[in-house]
Structure 1
């Protein structure tokens, strides 16, 4: 299977610069917050979101060098993403993320929340300094969308009446919004036409939705080692994702188990078995494939380049995580 990092070869040097700049951008005003930020950015990660921004930048600038504003946009994108993860981990009470201790487990909840707020604030400050009002609006909307998605998720826990449409809306707010709006922002900084930047937005939106659906499938099919958390964690917490929602239409008893919140011994194991015995996971795979293919269609208009090819290959990478 192709790794994410191998897809990023056209922007490999750009990502090295980004990694060096991130800790410097946060600053050293407060040692505890700086330590938390240094831990976060030093913990690695695939840097998928800033890589997409850099690939979009290079795919639209072609033979011209990308600007410092393109680079700063990629850095801001990673800061916003990281801030959202810090807050998510506190809300989810997660001690680990991808096998690495979370900020709140290393420090405490108060420091983690403040560290997340600090990163959002720093990202907003650097965003304002791009001096592009349209880009500021796009990335500010992302921060609002994160909060909207978290609230929606909290309000729909164990809600067996939730529709696939509502699930996709929530997935857009929590995952796809950042990829979509930062992709569009890269196009705006390149001076792209309305049609071009709208298609860049469409690519990010569909790729982000495919990415989230695949993540949700892996919660049922992945191992604890791969996931960095116990399999079935989302279901146990009442977060009903695509495989469970599709299975509910096929397995009536699953609704009983969910609505009593898996309170009886063996409920969760029975629910997982029902989902795996249904067409839920297969239908979710088809949903992810649809959005990955739509992403490729959106990007097909761009001139042929290494960066465009990497963006197209990214949709295959997202789907191949399932196998």
Structure 2
């Protein structure tokens, strides 16, 4: 149901998204059959293509040329894909979107080089954009993402975390790339500085809301919906917002501590999920996601009157209200 809704939201851009998909396949092609197999394995696992879609929508505030804009949309999705490959190595994850991860199908060494290869292809694509500001934004984004990876490693298994720790992590993990997608789409099309700034802020707030919902769903969605065991984030040592709030409950805290110490049994996993789902932690996390979503929608109200505004609002609402 959720996937069908997203397809409907994207329906007006189907031909453009198809161009991006074909271009992603071309970008991931190499002289190494081994690299091709690993890269296409990840591409065929699918994804929401949120970042390319935001590039396309943001570009419509300037001079829109899909043949030019694709050179921004493709590298941003490649950066996202590369970060997923590296994340799965760090987290020792076996499944993503119901499929074996690259590290599970091959090994850690192949996965790391595969992620590096995809990052390099992203940079190669960006050389087709002449605007130096676009290159600066992309370089800063990649630096922040890499810093975020280190922060996530530093925070692993750390029980004593506050909201500030969590926010700095998800800003670099998710929000900054979505913000850059909106910003770069506008820059590449020659939109005004004011529009570029508003879209960047919109993307940042949407990204924060999106990641909070993602972290909530890791506890509330089913294994089948997630394509991996529910509660995987905590079992991998990542203390997300629902867990931070749940730690305030003296009855749940020992369950979280035991999960981090791991490994836990299937019965203990079910006990943990049931306790967190029934706790106020989920409602509190949802409320915080809603605050970010409201900020994102407010930024849209400052944009010039344009038919694309409705698409930005609809997709933002989907991202901030989705059920899995």
TM-score (norm 2): 0.91
Distance 1:107 1:17 in 2: 29
User: Residue 98 of structure 1 contacts residue 227 of structure 1 at CA under 8 Å; is this kept in 2?
Assistant: yes
Distance 2:171 2:124 in 1: 25
2:50 to 48, 51, 62: 48
Distance 1:44 1:307 in 2: 25
The equivalent residue for 1:319 is 320
Long gaps (5+) in structure 2: none
User: Residue 77 of structure 1 contacts residue 182 of structure 1 at CA under 8 Å; is this kept in 2?
Assistant: yes
Select between 273-282 and 207-216 the one with higher mean Cα deviation: 273-282
1:252 to 234, 250, 264: 250
Distance 1:65 1:153, change over 3 A: closer
The equivalent residue for 1:94 is 93
Distance 1:243 1:203, change over 3 A: same
Select between 253-262 and 313-322 the one with higher mean Cα deviation: 253-262
Distance 2:231 2:296 in 1: 28
Tell me the secondary structure at the aligned position of residue 27 of structure 1: coil
Runs (4+) off by over 6 Å: none
The equivalent residue for 1:147 is 146
Is residue 320 of structure 2 the alignment partner of residue 303 of structure 1?
no
The equivalent residue for 1:214 is 213
Distance 1:210 1:257, change over 3 A: same
Question: CA offset at residue 227 of structure 1?
Answer: 0.5
Tell me the secondary structure at the aligned position of residue 19 of structure 2: helix
Tell me the secondary structure at the aligned position of residue 208 of structure 1: helix
The equivalent residue for 1:240 is 239
The equivalent residue for 2:293 is 292
Tell me the secondary structure at the aligned position of residue 47 of structure 2: coil
The equivalent residue for 1:282 is 283
Tell me the secondary structure at the aligned position of residue 205 of structure 1: helix
Residues 71-102 of structure 1: per-residue CA shift (max 9 Å, x gap) = 11001111111111111112222222111222
- RMSD of aligned alpha carbons: 2.1
Question: CA offset at residue 259 of structure 1?
Answer: 4.2
Distance 2:206 2:94 in 1: 28
User: Residue 182 of structure 2 contacts residue 199 of structure 2 at CA under 8 Å; is this kept in 1?
Assistant: yes
Matches within 5 A, 1:65-76: 65-76=64-75
Question: CA offset at residue 228 of structure 1?
Answer: 0.8
Tell me the secondary structure at the aligned position of residue 190 of structure 2: coil
Select between 188-197 and 7-16 the one with higher mean Cα deviation: 188-197
TM-score (norm 1): 0.91
Q: Report how many aligned residue pairs link the two structures.
A: 319
Distance 2:115 2:227 in 1: 21
Is residue 90 of structure 2 the alignment partner of residue 122 of structure 1?
no
Residues 21-69 of structure 1: per-residue CA shift (max 9 Å, x gap) = 11212333222112222332233322121111111112x03xx542533
Select between 141-150 and 75-84 the one with higher mean Cα deviation: 141-150
Distance 2:157 2:276 in 1: 15
Distance 2:251 2:222 in 1: 26
